[in-house]
Amino acid sequence: MPSTSSTFTKVLNNSAFCTLAADLQSTLRPFRAAGEKVVFVPTMGAFHAGHQSLINAARGISSQVWVSIFVNPTQFNKPSDLAAYPRQLDADCRLAAEAGAAGVFAPNFQEVYPGLQANTVPEVDYGLLTSALEGQQRPGHFNGVVQVVRRLFELVDPDVAMFGEKDYQQFAVVSELVRREKLSVEIVGVPTVRAADGLALSSRNVRLSEDARRSALRLSEEIKAVACAPNPNLAASQAFVRLSADPLIAPEYLSVVAADTFENWTPELSTAARVLVAAQVGGVRLIDNIAVRPA
């Protein structure tokens, strides 16, 4: 298995492992010359079935699917959250290879941000996309997201990049980054992967107690009900109150927004809508979302 001190190694199923962008580009050069698309799956590791679904979807586009594993410090609001984030590089490389990735790109901080300090983060203002909901609950978070995605795009130079729709606001922000900066990469959203009981898959789910996991199921149940309600906005307010009544749930928001701008959605808006929720469940912060489908 790979060591983070090596620059280029072979891992399972002939997948490649790189820590330097120069090695990555050298590996990709003959495939680009042959006209193959490079499909990029950026991650922070701690793989679960949701990550594998991104790789599977990417493989439907090209055989050159590259997964990055980089725990980006500039998008964490709390040092304790950064310290607690699971790091399992060997296991993640195995899972990526088993899912059919061509390789893993696992750069260190200096490779991604040469000469920068971890707290050097340019401010980003995409209106409500970066200031509402997650932007309000986690000030500065999207500054770090835009910074790292822009930089990873520079290092990998992909034709297509895959993002999970579970982090729907992040998906919208990255799409806006590409639009504003006219980047030559296609952004593809992959639907949320859920456990059999409906809970959205997340690396944080393993931290839920048995009781908290049962309460966490209410998030997906409530947003599904809101999405199907004749009056989604009224239903969202009522759902927030119901979630607040659960002693294990501290909801932060449950909102219906325009999917492209994140302004408060009303039936008069001729745009797709999304229901998004965030809550502390047994001390673990979870998010989820679903498209609105009025009855």
CATH number at residue 80: 3.40.50.620
Predicted confidence at residue 250, as pLDDT, reads 98
Q: Which amino acid is at 178?
A: V
Q: Say yes or no: 161 and 117 in one domain.
A: yes
Structural domains in the chain (count) = 2
Burial class (CB in 10 A: 0-12, 13-18, 19+), 262: buried
CATH number at residue 221: 3.30.1300.10
Q: Which residues are catalytic?
A: 51
Instruction: Please check whether residues 179 and 43 belong to one and the same domain.
Output: yes
Structural domain includes residue 195: no
Domain that holds residue 19: 8-190
Q: Where does a domain end: 131, 159, 190? A: 190
3 in any annotated domain: no
Query: CA 109 → CA 20, 82, 118, 143, 170, distances in Å?
Result: 11, 14, 8, 17, 21
Domain boundary among 163, 190, 217: 190
- Determine contact, residues 162/190, Cβ cutoff 8 Å: yes
Q: Is residue 2 part of a domain?
A: no
47 and 180 fall within a common domain: yes
Q: Is residue 208 part of a domain?
A: yes
Q: How many residues does the chain have?
A: 295
What gap in Å lies between CA 215 and CA 26, rounded to an integer?
49
Asked whether residue 145 falls in the same domain as residue 212, the answer is no
Are both 181 and 224 inside the same structural domain? no
Who contacts 6 (Cβ-Cβ below 8 Å, separation ≥6)?
A: 17, 19
- Residue-level pLDDT at 2: 41
Query: Are both 227 and 283 inside the same structural domain?
Result: yes
Residue that finishes a domain, picked among 159, 190, 221: 190
| 241 lies in some domain | yes
Q: Is residue 104 part of a domain?
A: yes
pLDDT of residue 5: 35
Task: Looking at the structure, tell me whether residues 134 and 229 fall in a common domain.
Answer: no
183 and 207 assigned to the same domain: no
Q: Clarify whether residues 74 and 185 are in a common domain.
A: yes
In a shared domain, residues 126 and 267: no
Q: What does each of the 295 residues of the chain score in pLDDT, given as a tens digit?
A: 344 334 334 555 567 999 999 999 999 999 999 999 999 999 999 999 999 999 999 999 999 999 999 999 999 888 888 888 889 999 999 999 999 999 999 999 999 999 887 678 999 999 999 999 999 999 999 999 999 999 999 999 999 999 999 999 999 999 999 999 999 999 999 999 999 999 999 999 999 999 999 999 999 999 999 999 999 999 999 999 999 999 999 999 999 999 999 999 998 887 899 999 999 999 999 999 999 976 5
Same domain, 184 and 264: no
Helix (H) or strand (E) holding 163: strand 160-164
Position 1 in a domain: no
Same structural domain for residues 129 and 254? no
Question: DSSP string covering 180-244, please?
Answer: HHT-S-EEEEEPPPB-TTSPBP-GGGGG--HHHHHHHHHHHHHHHHHHHSSSHHHHHHHHHHHHH
Residue 178 counted as domain residue: yes
